[in-house]
Amino acid sequence: MAGEEAPPGALNLAEYALAGARTVDCFRRIRKIGEGTYGEVFEAMDIITGERAALKKIKLDDGKEGFPRQILREIKLLKKLDHENIIRLKEIVVSPGPAHGTGGSDDHMYRGDIYMVFEYMDHDLKKVLHHSTPSQVKFYMKQLLEGLHYCHVNNVLHRDIKGANLLISGGNLLKIADFGLARPFTRDGSFTNHVITLWYRPPELLLGATNYAEAVDIWSVGCIFAEFLLRKPLFPGRTEQEQLSKIFELCGFPNEENWPGVSKLPLYKTIHPVTPTKRRLRDIFQNFDCHAVELIDRMLILNPTQRISAQDALSAAYFIH
């Protein structure tokens, strides 16, 4: 992962109050909700308060590698972010078992299971992506953009916006979840381009860019918005090559005129124009709300510097009419 920042120094789990953490025995497990990259997600109930929660189990690699770096980053970011459209990390709990610390200098090494406790949400957006009403779509899009705008002003890129990572509860309330690929960013940074699920991945990452910004998340939002309208994925590529071809078929072929600097991207020389090379994105949305289509069109601009920001998207005509 070229350019990824290393976790600062040795892992200091004390920072996450593990020493005083409650154990998972404080929860009654109800059912398994999902299979995470680093472990499973369960619906559970706090035995004392009766409150429902989602428990994300963190798989530790026998303590060999220590605490997974991504999980550490996820916890750090979630602790920092506080917004109604971002999932709330309530606490961290540990499995009962041997007390943490095995003596010696490695005092912060915990060898049992660790769980992230989140507020419980009814389901993810993937479930309703292909059958939502226009007013629901508008409400979901507004909340998604509000949450994302908050991330971006706080210099956080989510880097995995897709239906399965957007959670819905209490009648249409949306929260952005799964900060497992998220990271803080700076304008002149260099980051890995192996992020974002293929169908929602923007052209700059597919072309190998390592200096990218908020616009990567906006592309994913545009793909989701389009999917709401079409009731099927917009760019369901099977390989990175096919993903780029599908994008170019609708958005036109990138060149120095419509995207200055594109020819310098590492993989630009590997791509070939498809016919027609002209942008025809709007053609497939002829029968939809013109304000919705106009906004999708501005989210799915090839050149990331011209792509609309979350803030500007929120004041688009689509949200006013």
Q: x/- string (CB under 6 A) for ligand ADP, residues 164-183?
A: xx-x---------xx-x---
Q: x/- string (CB under 5 A) for Mg ion, residues 160-199?
A: -----x------------x---------------------
CB of 165 to Mg ion, least distance (A): 5
With a CB cutoff of 8 Å and minimum separation 6, the contacts of 263 are: 255, 256
CA–CA separation, 233 and 284 (whole Å): 13
Q: Which of ligand ADP, Mg ion, none does 132 bind, CB closer than 5 to 8 A by kind?
A: none
CA 17 to chain centre: 26
Q: Six-digit token pair at 8? A: 């600062």
Burial class (CB in 10 A: 0-12, 13-18, 19+), 53: buried
CA–CA separation, 39 and 56 (whole Å): 7
CA–CA separation, 132 and 122 (whole Å): 16
Q: Which of 124, 160, 178, 217 is catalytic?
A: 160
Q: Which of Mg ion, ligand ADP, none does 120 bind, CB closer than 5 to 8 A by kind?
A: ligand ADP
Instruction: Note whether 200 and 224 are within 8 A (CB).
Output: yes
312 catalytic? Reply is: no
CB of 114 to ligand ADP, least distance (A): 14
Instruction: Note whether 27 and 45 are within 8 A (CB).
Output: yes
Q: Is 205 in the site for ligand ADP (CB under 6 A)?
A: no
Q: Is 58 in the site for ligand ADP (CB under 6 A)?
A: no
Q: What residues numbered 121-140 form the site for ligand ADP, per CB under 6 A?
A: 121, 124
Q: What residues numbered 128-167 form the site for Mg ion, per CB under 5 A?
A: 165
How far, CA to CA in Å, does 18 sit from each of 12, 133, 248?
A: 10, 44, 49
Q: Is 87 in the site for ligand ADP (CB under 6 A)?
A: yes
Instruction: Note whether 70 and 134 are within 8 A (CB).
Output: no
Residues at the contact surface with ligand ADP, assessed by CB under 6 A: 33-34, 36-37, 41, 54, 56, 87, 118, 120-121, 124, 164-165, 167, 177-178, 180
Catalytically active residues are 160
**Residues in touch with Mg ion (CB under 5 A):** 165, 178
